[in-house]
Copies of this chain bind each other. A is one copy, B any other.
């Protein structure tokens, strides 16, 4: 059974990516990152999702991206609320975290080397979040090319890293349908950028708005409860 490292934020997309990796027959190693995000509730969600989807291990690695700054998700900038759906993703939002996926993939690369794994799953989508540069296919391919020059295992011919992005061409509704078919319990996930202290979603940040619209379009009920 081949091992795969799955980057698992605890949100809807990465939970679906984990379910896809399992469906494809991989033994999964879920990797979450505590990076100073204000929505740390997602790490508890990640632990629940990893357990529910039978990950072999769930590792949380700390990286102090807050020290670098530059994002509403780690800093003092306010998380925008009630942005009209048509405007979300039209430009790169203040919730963009500089080099986040690059940092996350680098940690996944290191763990993959230690685990003798050749496969990394990343739940990015180029559809809803077209504003995030590090969610685009050309970025993923360039990362893969770099990674295959980076590690001892690659240089010694024991590793040929592949980055799987099974959601990259799917919109939120399609992702929700896919994951529902694979048995993902989206009630365990957390998408909100600015949750309450008990982890419940605000319902109004970009991530909540896209999620709610996705469930609406998929014709399914979001198991999470929103205020108001």
Chain A contacts to B: CB under 8 angstroms: 59-65, 67-70, 92, 96-103, 105-107, 109-111, 113-114, 133-134, 136, 138-139, 142-143, 145-147, 149-152, 154-156
| A107→B62 contact, CB < 8 A | no
Q: Which among B63, B99, B152 is the interface contact of A151 at CB below 8 angstroms?
A: B99
Known: A59-B68, A103-B103. A98 touches B151 (CB 8 A): yes
Q: Which residues of B contact A107 (CB under 8 A)?
A: 63, 68, 99, 103
Q: Which residues of B contact A98 (CB under 8 A)?
A: 109-111, 113-114, 151-152
CB distance from A194 to the nearest CB of B (A): 21
| B106→A102 contact, CB < 8 A | yes
Q: Which residues of B contact A64 (CB under 8 A)?
A: 61-63
Given contacts A138-B149, A143-B146, 10 further A-B contacts (CB under 8 A): A59-B67, A63-B64, A99-B109, A99-B113, A101-B150, A105-B106, A133-B149, A139-B150, A142-B146, A145-B145
| B145→A142 contact, CB < 8 A | yes
C-alpha gap A102/B107 in the complex (Å): 9
CB distance from A225 to the nearest CB of B (A): 33
